[in-house]
Homo-oligomer: A and B are copies of this chain.
Amino acid sequence: MAKFQKDKVDIVAVAKAAKVSPSTVSRTFNHPNLVNPATRKKINRAVQRLGYIRNRAAQTMHGKRSGTIGLVVPTINHAIFAEVIQAFSDSIDSAGFTLLLASHGYNLDREYAMVRKLLEHRIDGVALVGLEHSKATVQLIKQQRTPALAIWNYSNDSPLPCVGADNRLAGRLAAEHLLALEHRDIGLIFPKTTDNDRAHNRLSAVRDALYEKGISIPNERDSEAPYSISQAKQAATSLLTERIRPTALLCGNDVIAQGALFAAQNLGLKVPNDLSIIGIGDFKGSADVEPGLTTIRIPAETIGQLAGERFTKYITSDDSEHFRLCCELECIVRGTTGPVPTC
C-alpha cells in the first residue's frame, strides 16, 4: 500500500488516481449513497493506495463541523477530574468527536484564555467545569455562539446547559451523616474556595446544616488544604493536635479525607473509634483504603459519559433546547465513621 507517497496526497490526487472528479471523491466520504458502488470501490482503492487521510481543517473551513470538542478543567492531575475526563473523552469519541483538553489551575482568568485558545480552533462545543465563570468567558462563548456545557455541578437555574450533581446537597449530606451519629465537635478541612464554586457550595451547605443544629465551627476547627494528600495530612495533623480534639473531620473531598485518615493513623488514633472521617467524591481508591472511607458519592463516570452523550447530540442536532441533568448523590457509609467516642 501507499506506493506513491510522492507529493501532497489530497482529494484531487485521489480523484486523479481513480479517474474521477474531486467532487465525486468528496461525495464518497460524505454521501456515499449518492455515488455508484463501482466508482466507490475504485475510489476507495485509490485512497488505500495513496494513503489518503481527510483534512478536517479544510472541511472546517468550508463550514462543516470541526469534529472537536473542547474541555476545560481546573486540573488533570487529580483523581476526580481524571475520571470525568476519561468518561467524557470516550463518550464523545464514539460520536466521532475528538477532545481538545486544557486546564487552568483553578484560575478563572486562565480559564478565559483557554476558552479563547480553543475557540481559535473552531471547536464545535466547549465544556467547562462548574457554574462559576468570569463574565468575560460567558460573554465570549455567547458572542461566538459556541455551544457550551457546564459539567460537574448541577443547578436548576444554571444559565448554561449542565450535567452534574448538586454540590450544596453533597455538603449537607455529609454534615447530616455526622450529625446523625451525634457528632458535635466537628473539624472542617476544605480547599480554597476562590474560583471554585464546587468547594464553595459544599462548604456553605455544611455550615448551614450545622448552624441549624446550633453548631458553629470555631476558627481553629476550620482548616484549609489544597488538593494534595500530603498537604491535607499536614493540615489534619495540626487540627488533631489542638488542645481539644474534634470527634469528627468533615473533608471537602476524598483526597483531603485520605490525607486526614493517614494523619490520624500516623498519630496513633483509631478510626472510627477515636475519630470519624467523612469525605466527598468517592474517588477511585476511596473504597479500598483501610478502613474504607465513608463519603458522599459523586458519580464522576456517569457525569462524564452522560455529558458526552447529551452534548454531542445537542451539537449535532442543533435543536437547542436547554437541558439540565442532575446526577444522584449517595452517602456511602464505610469504615471511617462511627458514633462519638464515649470517653
Using a CB–CB cutoff of 8 Å, the interface residues on chain A facing chain B are: 2, 5, 51, 53-58, 60-61, 66-68, 75-79, 82-83, 85-86, 89-90, 93, 98-103, 116-122, 139-140, 143-144, 228-230, 233, 255, 258-259, 262, 265-266, 284-285, 287-290
The 3 tightest CB contacts between A and B, nearest first, are A57-B60, A76-B86, A82-B82
A55 lies within 8 A of B61 (CB) = yes
Cα distance, A143 to B50, chains bound together (Å): 10
A102: chain B residues within 8 A (beta carbon): 89, 93, 98-99
- Closest CB in chain B relative to A168 CB, distance in Å: 27
A120: chain B residues within 8 A (beta carbon): 53-56, 67
User: Can you report 17 A-B residue pairs in the complex whose CB atoms are below 8 A from each other?
Assistant: A2-B143, A53-B116, A55-B120, A57-B61, A57-B66, A57-B122, A67-B121, A68-B100, A76-B85, A79-B82, A85-B101, A86-B103, A99-B102, A228-B284, A229-B288, A262-B288, A266-B290
Cα distance, A124 to B116, chains bound together (Å): 20
- Closest CB in chain B relative to A22 CB, distance in Å: 15
A83: chain B residues within 8 A (beta carbon): 77
- Closest CB in chain B relative to A283 CB, distance in Å: 10
B61 lies within 8 A of A90 (CB) = no
With contact pairs A98-B100, A99-B102, A262-B290 given, residues A284 and B229 touching in the complex (Cβ less than 8 Å) = yes
Among A61, A83, A118: residue with most chain B CB under 10 A: A61
By beta carbon, the residue of chain B nearest A88 is: B76
Task: Return the contact of A61 from the options B58, B67, B82, B86 (Cβ within 8 A).
Answer: B58
A56: chain B residues within 8 A (beta carbon): 57, 120-122
With contact pairs A57-B121, A78-B82 given, residues A288 and B99 touching in the complex (Cβ less than 8 Å) = no
Cα distance, A143 to B48, chains bound together (Å): 12
B143 lies within 8 A of A51 (CB) = yes
By beta carbon, the residue of chain B nearest A2 is: B143
A55: chain B residues within 8 A (beta carbon): 61, 120, 122
A93: chain B residues within 8 A (beta carbon): 102
By beta carbon, the residue of chain B nearest A113 is: B93
A119: chain B residues within 8 A (beta carbon): 53
- Closest CB in chain B relative to A156 CB, distance in Å: 29
A77: chain B residues within 8 A (beta carbon): 82-83, 86, 284
Cα distance, A101 to B297, chains bound together (Å): 27
By beta carbon, the residue of chain B nearest A5 is: B143
